[in-house]
Amino acid sequence: MSEPITAVMCGAGGRGYYAYGPYALQHPDELRFVAVAEPDDVRRERFAADHGIPPERRYRTWEEMFAAGRLADACFNMTQDGDHLASTLGALEAGYDVLLEKPMANRLADTVALVQAAERHGRLLQICHVLRYTPFFATLNSILASGRLGDIITVEHRENVAYWHMAHSFVRGNWRNVASSSPMLLAKCCHDLDILVWNASSPVERLSSVGSLMHYRPEHAPPGATARCTDPCPVGPDCPFDARRLYLNMDISHWPVTAITHDLSYEGRLRALESGPYGRCVYRCDNDVVDHQVVTMQLASGASVVLVMHGHSHEEHRSMRYDGTRATLRGRFGGGTGSIEIHDHLTGRVEEVAIPPATSGHGGGDFGVVRSFVRALRGVEPPLTSARESLESHLLAFAAEEARLQGSVVDMADFRARAEAAARSLGPQAA
């Protein structure tokens, strides 16, 4: 049996610790973490203890870790969006193949620069577009590739973000502000756009977009609402976003509760709400990302695609519809499970397609992307997608944001050329 792939972890937070780290614990013959870089002491020591990482390989910053030389085969980069460019360039320069959390970066030129850098160094840069690796979307893609639906005419894809998820991540949390994180569509839907690109097998020629921050604004605060949910707030009992209800009553062993504090006791969670960002009234935060956005795309094939994202759903799920010349496909994906129905035009019959069970988060995609990365490094099979292919979804997200802000229709050939030129202007250190 071959030796396991060795890796270093940059960022041992929610994705690094909970989503990808467990793969090595469950498959020690395939993957082993030998070093970790994490500024938070508790998170760093927790990850190191779980993976048996010695004290001399526990670093506060990725700069310190990369300065120690090449310690492993690969780097898992799970840092915050704004740190992706510098840390990934550092990993590539240090000689690592890189598994990078989405989005690749939060600026257009930076995403292109990362792809150019990986190509220049001859390194594998794989993006955590986890939906591709789920049994659900693999089945969906196989159906479309088979021609069962005929020629695809229209596609509708909805990313229905639950109201509590929107409040946690995009109003109170790390991805609430464009300047400090990413545009909403890039942060939440770049892997939805990746799925649409994968399934369409035809490039997007032009797109337009509308959307705004409609609800989570100061003027929508109920009369008497306080700055924090832990203050004596008279509207708390009638507010679906009341932080006390969300974080004090939820399962403390799972996200999002695990994101607000290391002390998950009742008292610890209450203290976090009293002093941290997650206890703030959703109408009195410094958020500016949209809470709904629609993107309309025209493909080279002539088909039209609509992506709808909103943060007001009763439950977390994605729904989709593909209308072809021979059949219509309806799908639903959420809660780790999914369903697909095919409505045949000729016979009128409805087929319910069986979906293999998921074995990890994101409907099996979390472990799926790690498995693909490890197998690619071992030479067992090529990666399902390249960094260059993953870049397209980011370009679409940035183009949609430009279209939304300017009220324009974006020609994607022109936009791609502008993006490549912008990356080259960053200089050789980035490209």
Convert the pLDDT of each residue in 92-131 to its tens digit.
999 999 999 999 999 999 999 999 999 999 999 999 999 9
Distances (CA, A) of 268 to 83, 252, 264, 271, 400: 29, 11, 6, 5, 41
Q: How confident is the model at residue 431 (pLDDT cuts 50, 70, 90)?
A: very low
- pTM for this structure? 0.92
**β-pairing, 327-334 with 317-324?**
antiparallel
Across the range 272-298, mean pLDDT stands at 97
Give one DSSP letter per residue of 105-125, joined into a string: -SSHHHHHHHHHHHHHHT--E
**Angle 412-424/108-121 helices, nearest 10 degrees?**
70
SS3 label, residue 128: coil
**β-pairing, 327-334 with 337-344?**
antiparallel
pLDDT single digits (tens) 149-183: 999 999 999 999 999 999 999 999 999 999 888 89
**β-pairing, 304-313 with 97-100?**
unpaired
Residue 359's pLDDT is 65
Report the alpha-carbon distance of residue 196 to residue 308 in Å, rounded: 12
The string over 271-303, giving b where at least 16 C-beta atoms fall within 10 Å of a residue's C-beta and e elsewhere, is bbbeeebbbbbbbebebebbbbbbbbbbbeeeb
Residue 357 has pLDDT above 80, yes or no: no
What sections of 280-345 are H helices per DSSP? none
Mean pLDDT of the chain: 94
Distances (CA, A) of 53 to 47, 48, 259: 8, 5, 23
Q: How confident is the model at residue 75 (pLDDT cuts 50, 70, 90)?
A: very high
Q: Is the peptide bond before 256 cis (omega within 30 degrees of 0)?
A: yes
Q: Which of 164, 180, 280, 184 is nearest to 227 (CA)?
A: 280
Q: In sequence order, what E strands does 78-190 have?
A: 97-100, 125-127, 152-162
Residue 47 has pLDDT above 90, yes or no: yes
Q: Yes or no: say if 207 and 297 are a contact pair by the CB < 8 Å rule.
A: yes
Residue 360 has pLDDT above 70, yes or no: no
Q: Yes or no: say if 149 and 194 are a contact pair by the CB < 8 Å rule.
A: no
pLDDT single digits (tens) 202-229: 999 999 999 999 999 999 999 999 999 9
pLDDT single digits (tens) 228-262: 999 999 999 999 999 999 999 887 778 899 889 99
Where exactly are the structural domains of the chain?
A: 5-130, 132-216+288-421, 218-279
Report the alpha-carbon distance of residue 206 to residue 103 in Å, rounded: 22
Chain centroid to CA 270:
29
Other C-beta atoms within 10 Å of 333: how many? 22
Compute φ and ψ for 193, nearest 5 degrees: -65, -35
Residues 6+ apart with CB under 8 A from 74: 5, 6, 7, 8, 96, 97, 98, 99, 373, 377
Q: Which of 418, 398, 430 is nearest to 182 (CA)?
A: 398
Report the alpha-carbon distance of residue 352 to residue 93 in Å, rounded: 49
Residue 1's pLDDT is 53
Q: Yes or no: say if 323 and 168 are a contact pair by the CB < 8 Å rule.
A: no
| Sign of torsion over alpha carbons 373, 374, 378, 382 | negative
CATH 3.30.360.10 fits 132-216+288-421, yes or no: yes
Q: Which of 200, 168, 217 is nearest to 307 (CA)?
A: 200
Q: How confident is the model at residue 430 (pLDDT cuts 50, 70, 90)?
A: low
- Largest pairwise CA distance in the chain: 67
Report the alpha-carbon distance of residue 93 to residue 76 in Å, rounded: 15
Residue 336 has pLDDT above 80, yes or no: no
Q: Yes or no: say if 403 and 209 are a contact pair by the CB < 8 Å rule.
A: yes
CATH class of 5-130: alpha beta
How many C-alpha atoms does 337 have within 13 Å on its Cβ side? Answer: 3
Distances (CA, A) of 415 to 387, 392, 394, 403: 18, 11, 12, 11
Residue 109's pLDDT is 93
Residue 218's pLDDT is 97
